[in-house]
Amino acid sequence: MPRSTYHHGNLKQALVDATVGLIEEKGPLAFTLTEAARRAGVSAAAPYRHFASRDDLLAEVARQGFVEFTERLEAAHAQGDPHPVVAIQRLGTAYLLFAQQRPGLYMAMFESGSNALDGERTSAEAQHAYQILYRAADALFQGVEVSQRVSTSLVANHFWSISHGIVELFTRGAPIQARDLTAEQMLASAGEIYFRGLGVMPEGGLPDAETDPARD
């Protein structure tokens, strides 16, 4: 008997969701299109209706990851209220939470090393996320003399690197950890040292405000 064709309601998304699960279990480079198809409940040939290769599928997973990541960053930034330093610290917290809560997406975005991630659509979504951090970094220098400002892009990249490094040390199973600090505590203390060094920390400390709305 000929094999019947499986009509999936949303084949493309089913493959993406299946791949996220496989990445969480095996890592971003250890799955195949055939495994993704099997996990999604479709034939081995079905993925080729939407994806030319495994890397093509991985790029779509990463693209969707950056879309969700951007939404989380936008919500965490909350238009910079109540203070720019509080707001940018919340971005770091949102970064940590995303890595903890969505490890499959995070690994596809940052740990796959695939050339497919350089594609136009994925790169565009990554830039959307970066622009939120760039605006948050730029807001730190409101009222600061131009001659006293540090490059906004430099600050944005520094803080992205701080957040990413803490994720890798604390939430990605790295063998070396600061056992007396949580990831959130490390982020908060690193941010305070960094922003005091920039001279943007308000006198008397930060306003008393919720610093991680992304948890809600």
In a domain, 124, yes or no: yes
Residue 7: inside a domain: no
pLDDT value for 216: 47
pLDDT for residue 171:
74
Residue 27 lies in a domain: no
The reported pLDDT for the residue numbered 4 is 38
Q: Rounded mean pLDDT of 200-206?
A: 78
Supply the DSSP symbol for 117. Answer: G
Residue 137 belongs to what domain range?
62-201
Mean pLDDT of 65-77: 97
CA count, 13 A, side-chain hemisphere, 120: 0
**Average pLDDT of the chain?**
87
In a domain? residue 81: yes
Q: What is the largest CA-CA distance in the chain?
A: 78
- pTM for the full predicted model: 0.86
Supply 15's token pair.
């493959």
Would 3 be classed as within a structural domain?
no
The CATH code of the domain that includes 161 is 1.10.357.10
Question: How many domains does one find in the chain?
Answer: 1
In a domain, 208, yes or no: no
The answer to the question of residue 166 being in a domain is yes
Instruction: Please state the separation of Cα 66 from the chain's center in Å.
Output: 6
Average pLDDT of 202-213?
A: 60
| Predicted confidence band of residue 169 (pLDDT cuts 50, 70, 90) | confident
Which residue in 129, 1, 29, 115 sits closest to 72, CA to CA? Answer: 129
Q: Is residue 9 one of the residues assigned to a domain?
A: no
